């Protein structure tokens, strides 16, 4: 089975690998290539296909390895694996690359609840040092004067704005935003279903039916086609004997013929898979289980007892209307299709860029957005308050506007 490699993706990665292995004097080539984009679009998989095609030896690091109970271990691990790739180049004369998956998940600051640790700082500092001195990467407590071969680094992630800004500057990292076109998506999905005999026209219809879904959606869809055959095996062997059949039996692994299905059945299964996604988005049961309820200051005031007959009725003052400039900011964010998140910070938190959510987050209705902004302005008259426009699909922050300064 031959998978499709997007030409734009191939060109960027191949240029980065080749330029870093070429002797280009007086040409500042960034050592790190940062490939970012929304989840599930096949960034790592496309890279692995290119490595295989170009015969590049890849040393991998996961974002989960960038934290440790022992301070300094992740930074030392990065240096060790960089030197491992360099030694492979020197010993075998083969191109090599250091691949860091989900860098933003391991070293990024996703929100105000994410803590900066010593390891987070050391990981960023280590990558910056390697990018500045790629042929002189030393281990703590030792020094090797022999220069190393230059090893390009490729890092994947979803939101690189969460990383330390000096790390992603242009001299150290080249940024590449991966957003496959319709043509790319059709050919990639056609490669997924190639063994099932799905024609290119049928794949186009399938992709156009689910245009908002990422590439991994179609991979998961194909995996579900084998559910019926696997369930028949479980019923045939029995729940008690399935472990023995798979792990200890001398019959070998079970063989499943390619499933037979029509495009309509595939689309129907896709709608079921999409419905499960929507259930996750709609339920938000963590708000109930974890007690993420409104604070006392956000609870509606208790109803006042009824006034006796003949008594004067007290009327609550109407809310103060928003400044026209603030209304314009809200209207501008909503007009671009973004959701609105309201945040506040006192002067001390403002200096360290530690903002807190104010009221209900991710609003997309005019009335609800104005009401939440009014409440935040009245509750925190001495704080900085800003509006954040959030892309509802990619979950990325697009606009940040401060509407109140103490």
- Provide the CATH number for the domain around residue 25: 3.40.50.300
Q: How confident is the model at residue 298, as a pLDDT?
A: 43
**Co-location of 160 and 18 in the same domain:** yes
Smallest CA-to-CA distance from 101 within 145, 54, 58 is with: 58
Number of domains in the chain: 3
**Co-location of 112 and 131 in the same domain:** yes
Q: How confident is the model at residue 111, as a pLDDT?
A: 66
CATH of the domain at 242: 1.10.8.1070
Residue 255 lies in a domain: no
Task: Give the structural domain span for 121.
Answer: 7-177
Query: In the listed set 136, 158, 177, which residue is the last one of a domain according to the structure?
Result: 177
**Co-location of 229 and 187 in the same domain:** yes
Q: How confident is the model at residue 262, as a pLDDT?
A: 86
**Co-location of 43 and 173 in the same domain:** yes
Give the C-alpha distances (Å, rounded to integers) separating 30 from 8, 14, 21, 26, 185: 19, 14, 12, 12, 29
Residue 28 lies in a domain: yes
- Show pLDDT as tens, one digit a residue, over the chain (406 residues): 578 999 999 999 999 999 999 988 888 999 999 999 999 999 999 999 999 999 999 999 999 999 988 889 999 999 999 999 999 999 999 999 999 999 999 898 876 656 678 899 999 999 999 999 999 999 988 888 899 999 999 999 999 988 999 999 999 999 999 999 999 999 999 999 988 888 999 999 999 999 989 999 999 999 988 888 899 999 999 999 999 999 988 888 888 888 888 889 899 999 999 888 888 777 666 656 655 444 444 444 444 444 444 444 444 334 556 788 888 888 888 888 888 888 888 888 887 777 888 766 567 778 888 888 888 888 888 888 888 888 887 777 888 888 888 8
**Co-location of 22 and 121 in the same domain:** yes
Residue 301 lies in a domain: no
Query: In the listed set 158, 177, 196, which residue is the last one of a domain according to the structure?
Result: 177
CA–CA gap between residue 143 and residue 147 (Å, rounded):
11
**Co-location of 173 and 192 in the same domain:** no
**Co-location of 139 and 31 in the same domain:** yes
Q: What is the pTM of this model?
A: 0.69
Residue 313 lies in a domain: no
* DSSP element (H, E) containing 83: helix 73-92
Q: How confident is the model at residue 321, as a pLDDT?
A: 65
Q: Is 197 exposed, middle or buried (0-12, 13-18, 19+ CB in 10 A)?
A: exposed
Residue 110 lies in a domain: yes
Residue 308 lies in a domain: no
Q: How confident is the model at residue 113, as a pLDDT?
A: 59
Query: In the listed set 131, 151, 177, which residue is the last one of a domain according to the structure?
Result: 177
Q: How confident is the model at residue 359, as a pLDDT?
A: 64
- Cα radius of gyration rounded to whole Å, the chain: 27
Cβ atoms within 10 Å of 406's Cβ, excluding its own: 12
């Amino acid at each position: 089975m031959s998978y499709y490699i997007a030409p734009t993706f191939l060109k960027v990665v191949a240029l980065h690998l080749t330029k870093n292995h070429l002797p280009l004097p007086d040409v500042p080539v960034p050592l790190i290539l940062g490939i970012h984009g929304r989840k599930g679009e096949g960034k790592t998989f496309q890279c692995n296909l290119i490595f295989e095609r170009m015969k590049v030896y890849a040393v991998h690091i996961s974002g989960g390895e960038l934290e440790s109970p022992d301070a300094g271990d992740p930074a030392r691990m990065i240096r060790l694996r960089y030197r491992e790739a360099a030694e492979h180049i020197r010993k075998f004369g083969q191109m090599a690359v250091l691949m860091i998956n989900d860098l933003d998940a391991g070293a990024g600051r996703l929100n105000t609840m994410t803590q900066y640790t010593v390891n987070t700082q050391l990981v960023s500092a280590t990558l910056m040092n390697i990018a500045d001195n790629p042929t002189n990467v030393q281990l703590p407590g030792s020094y090797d004067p022999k220069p190393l071969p230059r090893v390009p680094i490729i890092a994947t992630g979803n939101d690189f704005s969460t990383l330390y800004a000096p790390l992603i500057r242009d001299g150290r990292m080249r940024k590449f935003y991966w957003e496959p076109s319709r043509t790319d998506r059709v050919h990639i999905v056609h490669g997924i279903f190639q063994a099932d005999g799905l024609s290119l026209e049928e794949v186009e219809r399938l992709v156009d039916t689910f245009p908002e879904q990422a590439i991994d959606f179609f991979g998961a869809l194909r995996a579900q086609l084998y559910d019926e055959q696997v369930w028949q095996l479980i019923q045939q062997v029995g729940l008690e004997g399935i472990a023995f059949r798979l792990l200890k039996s001398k019959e070998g692994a079970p063989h499943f013929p390619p499933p037979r299905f029509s495009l309509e059945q595939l689309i129907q299964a896709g709608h079921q898979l999409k419905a499960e996604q929507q259930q996750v988005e709609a339920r938000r049961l963590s708000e109930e289980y974890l007690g993420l309820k409104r604070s006392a200051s956000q609870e509606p005031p208790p109803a006042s007892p009824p006034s006796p007959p003949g008594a004067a009725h007290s009327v609550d003052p109407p809310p103060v209307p928003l400044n026209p400039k603030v209304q314009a900011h809200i209207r501008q964010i909503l007009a671009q299709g973004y959701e609105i998140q309201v945040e506040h910070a006192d002067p001390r938190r403002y200096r360290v860029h530690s903002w807190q959510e104010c009221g209900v987050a991710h609003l997309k209705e005019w009335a609800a957005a104005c009401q939440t902004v009014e409440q935040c302005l009245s509750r925190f008259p001495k704080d900085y308050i800003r509006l954040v426009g959030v892309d509802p699909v990619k979950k990325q922050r697009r606009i940040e506007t401060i509407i109140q300064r103490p």
